Amino acid sequence: MTLLACPACDLLHEVPDLAPGRRARCRRCDTVIVSGQRVSLDRTLAMAVAVTVLIFFALFFPFLSISELGLSNSATLIEIALVFMSGWTAPLTIAVALTIVGIPFLRAAILVYALGPIRFGYPIPDKAAQAFRLSQALRPWAMAEIFFLGSAVALVKIIDLAHVGFGAAFWAFCAATLIIAFERNTTDSAAIWSLIDDME
């Protein structure tokens, strides 16, 4: 038995040790409090690997292309960011690039570092507990989805003026954003903490 608080409403529960694949839900609000540890680890690790690969891919492939009167131009995310890196927009660009791309990528990479060895039976990395704590602390700062609001507003403005095409990186980033949202709602940090504790 472990005493755990519901992550949504803080109601305390006495939770028995769960078999893999089983989950315990809050009595009051039905939020998942804890699920079988292995299932939880596999799911979080798989999503972290996918996000790392997708964001890395999204950096180097064309994100948007704009064509008008036979002329066309395409840009990667890095090129788009670099355009705004001079003058007074530079600090804002750095903040946006960090919250939209940098922190989501860093969080996913940290999760792969901390959880990968546990999953595959290797010795746990020295700083796994600190790394997992950091990834949890960064969670509110990973705001990939905000980017789509910004893009949508900008696209509505230019879509009448020119033909806008979405590149491979755009779709990769879409997929990463969806996975991040799903990961944020399904990662069972209590189960992962207990795995890390068991390994140390």
Task: Please identify which residue in 5, 20, 22, 29 interacts with Zn ion, judged by CB under 5 A.
Answer: 29
Ramachandran category for residue 69: left, alpha or beta (phi over 0 → left; psi -120 to 50 → alpha): left
Listed residue (138, 61, 135) closest to 98, CA to CA = 138
Q: Are strands 32-35 and 12-15 parallel, antiparallel or unpaired?
A: unpaired
Does 5 sit near Zn ion (CB under 5 A)? no
CB of 152 vs Zn ion, minimal distance in Å = 34
Task: Please identify which residue in 18, 26, 103, 109 interacts with Zn ion, judged by CB under 5 A.
Answer: 26
Q: Which residue has the tokens 């596999």?
A: 42
CB of 8 vs Zn ion, minimal distance in Å = 5
| Residues 32-51, mask of contacts with Zn ion (x by CB under 5 A) | --------------------
Does 9 sit near Zn ion (CB under 5 A)? yes
Does 6 sit near Zn ion (CB under 5 A)? yes
CB of 73 vs Zn ion, minimal distance in Å = 51
Binding segment (CB under 5 A) for Zn ion, from list 30-38, 45-53, 131-139, 150-158: 30-38
Listed residue (61, 40, 29) closest to 166, CA to CA = 61
DSSP designation for 139? G
Compute the distance between CA of residue 7 and CA of residue 21 in angstroms, rounded to an integer: 19
Q: What are the start-end ranges of the H helices in the chain?
A: 37-60, 77-83, 90-97, 103-119, 128-137, 144-158, 168-186, 189-199
Which residues, 6 or more positions from 113, have their beta carbon under 8 angstroms from its beta carbon? Answer: 125, 128, 131
Nearer Cβ to Zn ion, position 25 or 133?
Answer: 25
Binding segment (CB under 5 A) for Zn ion, from list 7-15, 44-52, 87-95, 142-150: 7-15
Does 103 sit near Zn ion (CB under 5 A)? no
Task: Please identify which residue in 8, 80, 82, 95 interacts with Zn ion, judged by CB under 5 A.
Answer: 8
Tokens of 175: 């997929």
Nearer Cβ to Zn ion, position 8 or 80?
Answer: 8
Would you tell me which residues interact with Zn ion (CB under 5 A)? 6, 8-9, 11, 26, 28-29, 31
